[in-house]
Copies of this chain bind each other. A is one copy, B any other.
Amino acid sequence: MDRTQINSIHSRCEHFLSYHRPCSLREHLRTIADSEYCDVGRDAYGQGGFVAQFESEIASLLGKEAAVFMPSGTMAQQIALRIWADRSGVPMAAFHRTCHLELREENAFREMHRLDVVLLGTSEDIFHLVEFEALSQPISTLLIELPQREIGGILPTWEELSAICSLARERGIHTHLDGARLWECGPYYGRSYAEVCALFDSVYVSFYKILSGLPGAALAGPADFIAEARPWLRRHGGNLQQQTPSAISAKLGMDRHLPRIPEYVAKAAEIAVALNSVPGVRTIPPEPKTNLMHIMLPGEPESLVKRAMEIAEQERVFLFGGLIQTPEGSRTELSVGDGALGLSGARVADLFERLLQSPMQA
């Protein structure tokens, strides 16, 4: 089953276990063009227009002095680590071993910024206070990802997170928040984004994931840090001639989805209970704290995807379109958005029971 067939089936569904009801690129662009934010005017190389206004809003929302809009988080985080490393004179950071910088950026922080890293945690768990306490190597920056995406979206408790960040400050270590999915952490911590971000010196947030904007990110922090980030943005080639369409789509995504994050997180909890009730199925974590979890299934990816497509065609419910093989079966990532709000836990459990029946009986 190829990607084109899967996309075609996806486009005919009504409910989507992961992410939002799809919006075509055409609709997306028209929504941006029709929005009042277009009246604010465009930026020129990041200066003025809607981008400047949006940067102020993001800084305020995250409780930081300043923010800069960027094309990607890959830029934002390398730049943050580079600035903190240059300031402390220690070209070494510490972050979780499944961090985006370690797994998804082709070693850019080493190759382009000559930084090195102490990897923390395990392939199944976040790192804990005791591990960070024991760290004897000098490091400039501790990067924490909330939630830790690659291991199913695990979050530290508020107490442990606060203790880790306090210890970092005591030791003169800068703290940076990888907030690619920060928006989704609000309900668990029960605190404002600004309160969560107050634990950190700098913060990156993303606009194209749960907020479903065009590609875009922001880096926020002290005013002098953001002023230093701008020439680094230019060095990376990210000071684009204009970013207004991306910034408007980010703002529209915030308007639409931020108020609904608690619904997505609550629905994820309901779905997790349902999934864990199906024999052979389990979620990581067993009780998600955000809208994110991994689903572990018995069986081979290929036959499970084929069966999921049959169910999608019959029921107009899209469960998943891809799986990764694991030693014990198959694994997929689930991020609950508005596409699943019309699905009850009972319906999800029923569909996964059917999924695991032999495809031969279909």
Contact = CB atoms under 8 A, between A and B. Distances in A.
A300 B204 CA distance: 44
A298 interface: no
A106 B231 contact: yes
A244 interface: yes
A253 to B, nearest CB: 13
Nearest to A50: B25
Interface stretch (A29-37, A58-66, A261-269, A337-345): A29-37
A241 B206 CA distance: 11
A238 interface: yes
A108 to B, nearest CB: 4
Contact of A74 (B74, B107, B234): B234
A240 interface: yes
A237 interface: yes
Nearest to A111: B235
Contacts of A232: 106
Interface string A167-192: 00000000000000000000000000
Interface residues of A, number: 46
Contacts of A104: 234
A240 B209 CA distance: 12
A3 B107 contact: no
A105 interface: yes
Contact of A26 (B33, B70, B75, B235): B33
Given A215-B242, A237-B74, A238-B238, A25 B42 contact: yes
A15 B136 CA distance: 67
A42 to B, nearest CB: 5
A237 B236 contact: yes
Given A25-B33, A72-B237, A105-B237, 13 more contacts: A25-B42, A29-B30, A29-B33, A29-B245, A30-B33, A71-B237, A72-B239, A73-B237, A74-B234, A78-B237, A105-B235, A106-B235, A236-B238
22 contacts: A25-B33, A25-B38, A25-B244, A25-B245, A26-B38, A29-B33, A70-B237, A71-B237, A71-B238, A74-B235, A74-B237, A74-B239, A76-B237, A78-B237, A105-B235, A106-B232, A108-B236, A112-B235, A208-B241, A215-B240, A237-B238, A238-B238
